[in-house]
Amino acid sequence: MPTALLFWGGWNGHEPQACAHLFASLLEADGFKVRVFDHLDCLLDASAMANLDLIVPLWTMGEISKEQSQALRAAVRDGVGLGGWHGGMCDAFRQDVDYQFMTGGQWVQHPGGIIPYSVQICDRSHPITKGIEDFSLVSEQYYMHCDPGNRVLATTTFAGDQEGIDWIRGVEMPVAWTKAYAAGRVFYASVGHVRADFDVPGAQRLVHQGLRWAAGLEEPL
């Protein structure tokens, strides 16, 4: 039975507890044993970390100690999968550049706030994107700094019609990617500002299949 650890906290505007409950339920339905924590000291249980298949961070902003960060990164380097979305993974622990190096990106802006935008699947050969068509949602469209070594699976294009920032018109930005971190599989998607965003089937399936892949399950839903 695969085992997953989800930890939630930080800024509550991203509804981390509700999102953790949703994906914990989906992973349990897939046959995972899921443990959910609302603190970071769960990362310091070395024996438990060594026996995980998947770690899912839901911790926008906030701070992580040197020991907690080292334990998390060591587990992923040793082969535990890492998967997450939106600010819960790639706007976490802003001062920890080693953490950012592992995740493959960092949020820097969401021009216009909550707006309609579309997501284009650009790599349909990957197990994560199988069965997913392009989709649209009304949410935060993330502008990010991204690792050029990422394998990009989906993108979005900025309209540039927000007042005062027209210079981003036509910029194509990664939305979902994978990367290697030593022996670990890393997946990220920038969708999922709040729990209701996952009522969009494409958004939910993209993240769900991404988590499964990070844990080593190759078959799409």
pLDDT at 172: 98
Which of 8, 11, 6, 14 is closest to 193 using CA atoms? 14
pLDDT at 164: 86
**pLDDT tens readout for residues 22-59:** 999 999 999 999 999 999 999 999 999 999 999 999 99
* Average pLDDT estimate for 162-170: 91
Write out the H or E segment, with its range, that includes residue 2: none
**Cα separations in angstroms, 93 against 76, 96, 101, 107:** 17, 6, 12, 11
**Cα separations in angstroms, 36 against 17, 23, 176:** 9, 10, 24
Q: Rounded to an integer, what distance in angstroms lies between the CA atom of residue 23 and that of residue 36?
A: 10
* Average pLDDT estimate for 132-139: 98
Q: Rounded to an integer, what distance in angstroms lies between the CA atom of residue 156 and that of residue 100?
A: 21
How would you label 177-187 residue by residue, b for 16+ Cβ within 10 Å and e otherwise?
A: bbbebeebbbb
Instruction: List beta partners, residue 163.
Output: none
CB 121 within 8 Å of CB 133 = yes
- The answer on pLDDT for 162 being more than 90 is no
pLDDT at 130: 97
**pLDDT tens readout for residues 82-106:** 999 999 999 999 999 999 999 999 9
Give the other-Cβ count within 10 Å of 77's Cβ.
13
Which of 216, 116, 125 is closest to 162 using CA atoms? 116
Whether the model clears a pTM of 0.95, i.e. scores above it, the answer is yes
pLDDT at 163: 82
| Tokens (6 digits) for 52 | 């995980």
Count of CA atoms in the C-beta half-sphere (13 A) of 207:
28
Say if residue 48 is exposed, middle or buried (CB neighbours under 10 Å; 0-12, 13-18, 19+): middle
Q: Rounded to an integer, what distance in angstroms lies between the CA atom of residue 145 and that of residue 47?
A: 34
pLDDT at 173: 98
- The answer on pLDDT for 70 being more than 90 is yes
**pLDDT tens readout for residues 105-121:** 999 999 999 999 999 99
The CATH number assigned to the domain with range 3-214 reads: 3.40.50.880
Which of 49, 85, 39, 56 is closest to 70 using CA atoms? 49
